[in-house]
Amino acid sequence: MALRVLTAVVAIPIVLLVVWLGGWVAFAAALFVLAWGSYELHQMMAHSGSRPLLWVSFGLGTLLLISAMFPQWRLLLLEISLGAALLVAFPLLFWRERLDGSLVDWALTVVFALYLGWPLSLLLLLRGSQFGWPPPRGLWWLLLLFAAVWTFDSAAFFTGHFLGRHKLAPQISPGKTWEGVFGGLLCTVILCLWLAGSLLQVPWYLALILGLALSLAATLGDLAESLMKRQAQVKDSGQLMPGHGGLLDRIDSLLFAAVVLYFFSQLALALPH
């Protein structure tokens, strides 16, 4: 627990600074997350005997990140990344000495780029490059996202630890309980009702829906990464963050929640106020 708290004390200010600065600083941070996350995913799969193409996953994911930095070219860059998934990633497997499992390796190569690159690109797109005071609206959305995910993870952990009795998905993640999920959900909904209303002037009923949706997304993201670790037969995705495991162990909930928050923010922008 001491290691977990110490790591959080160091990591949280760095995340907040990156969100505040936005632009190419945020791009550099997202690129690091993409690179290290791709490495952890490929190490896990290597443990289970699969051999996805690390550099191709990273390259496809990088195209997704770049597309967020150039909105006017976004559609073209997305089309290029999809084309490269077929025209580059697939043919690279033709010349392997052992072709067993090549189709699975190609699928993993593409999926890993999507799993990491798409949510990160949406965060960059939402934050934008604006800097100054008053802060851009995208900054508040990102602060809400991080606060909600951190609140959910912490509340779910402590509620599950002290009150957990009923297993949520024992075959995937034996430690997670329904009590933990409900504890995280309750705290996240309260947080969203407060922050979404005060920072972003979101009506209370939409803030309530957002809190529920982010809690569901965080739970699914956590279970998704647990399923990958179960498949690879590893306990943690890595050892980058003492007390927390690997980088993916800390951002699994955030990846799914980022997709939900982005589309919710676009819906909230489109609705009449």
pLDDT in tens, 33-46: 999 999 999 999 88
Mean pLDDT (the chain) is 90
- Is the pLDDT at 21 greater than 80, yes or no? yes
- Which spans in 128-203 are helix H? 137-163, 178-200
- Is the pLDDT at 95 greater than 90, yes or no? no
Residue 74 one-letter amino acid: R
Among 67, 77, 74, 84, which residue's Cα sits nearest to residue 30?
67
- Which range, of 57-61, 87-91, 132-136, 158-162, averages the lowest pLDDT? 132-136
- Is the pLDDT at 122 greater than 60, yes or no? yes
For the chain, the structural domain boundaries read 1-132, 133-272
- Which range, of 13-17, 148-152, 239-243, averages the lowest pLDDT? 239-243
- What pLDDT, on the 0 to 100 scale, is given for residue 267? 86
How many angstroms separate the most distant Cα atoms in the chain? Answer: 61
Using N-to-C axis directions, what is the helix angle for 247-270 and 137-163, rounded to 10°? 130
- Is the pLDDT at 136 greater than 80, yes or no? yes
Q: What percent of the chain has pLDDT over 70?
A: 95
Residue 157 one-letter amino acid: F
Question: Is the Cβ–Cβ distance between 33 and 86 less than 8 Å?
Answer: no
- Is the pLDDT at 271 greater than 70, yes or no? no
- What pLDDT, on the 0 to 100 scale, is given for residue 241? 63
**pTM value?**
0.92
- Is the pLDDT at 97 greater than 80, yes or no? no
- What pLDDT, on the 0 to 100 scale, is given for residue 186? 97
- Is the pLDDT at 49 greater than 90, yes or no? no
